[in-house]
Structure 1
Amino acid sequence: MSKKNRSGIVYSTNPEFEFSDNEDDIQTLPPTQQDLRIWLERKGGGKVTTAVKGFTGTLADLETLGKLLKNLCGSGGTVKDQEVQIQGDHRDKVIAWLLSKGYKAKKAGG
């Protein structure tokens, strides 16, 4: 079963109701208009991850960005909840790479 959020719609009594998924309407902004924040998040067991938040665009483009960042850092990670998570503290490397590609990026949180 799909775990997609259906915007709280569970049931409709309208027989002509059709759910429209707004994910198709989202277009990826160019790098100069992206405003990314780079966070350092502490996980259980003393592990840390670098999180890139604030990306506006399609999931496919976010996954592509995530793959490029993981290759850059030589580390594992994931893309979920509209953010890229990279294992380890790679904030400086990620920010330098994003700025070189034209993104607006800066450190956030503590």
Structure 2
Amino acid sequence: MDLQDQLKNLFPDHTPEKEEKAIEKSDIWLQEEPIICKYEKRKGKPITILEGYNGSDSDFKKLAKEIKTKLSVGGGFKNGTIIIQGDYRDKIMDMLKNKGFSVKRVGG
């Protein structure tokens, strides 16, 4: 008897819900135009740059902080762009798509 059978015996009326990949809700304003995600090298070190957000700067700063904490990397917000240390284009694009943003990959 496995765990599922034991749970069915304990809770006969319960029907398990199907797990779906949910889109994360956010208080950040979503735009229709895509955010541009590009890769550069500065002083020989790779960086990922996000630009093209036309919402408020405070929302973009929140997004920058969230990306940096989830990826455990350094970076910053300057002149309407987010700069992340390292090449994390794929991970950042997945995170932004899960939040509901449209993202465009530029270069490479």
Structure 2-normalised TM-score? Answer: 0.69
Gap runs ≥5 in structure 1: 1-28
Cα distance in 1 for residues equivalent to 2:104 and 2:94: 10
Cα distance in 2 for residues equivalent to 1:79 and 1:32: 19
Please give the secondary structure, in 2, of the residue aligned with 1:55. Answer: coil
Q: Aligned letter for 1:42?
A: K
Q: How many residues are aligned here? A: 81
- Which residue of 74, 85, 90 maps to 1:92? 90
Structure 1-normalised TM-score? Answer: 0.68
Query: 1:32 touches 1:102 (CA, 8 Å); kept in 2?
Result: no
- Which residue of 57, 61, 64 maps to 1:59? 57
TM-superposed CA distance for 1:30, in Å, is: 3.3
Q: Choose 1 or 2 for highest CA Rg.
A: 2
Structure with more relative contact order (C-alpha pairs < 8 Å, separation 6 or more): 2
Q: Deviations over 1:86-105 (max 9, x none)?
A: 00000000000000110000
Q: Counterpart of 1:104?
A: 102
Q: Deviations over 1:53-108 (max 9, x none)?
A: 10111111111010011112110001001010000000000000000110000211
Q: Counterpart of 2:41?
A: 42
Identity score, percent:
32
Root-mean-square deviation over aligned CA pairs: 1.5
Runs of 4+ in 1 over 6 A off after TM superposition: none
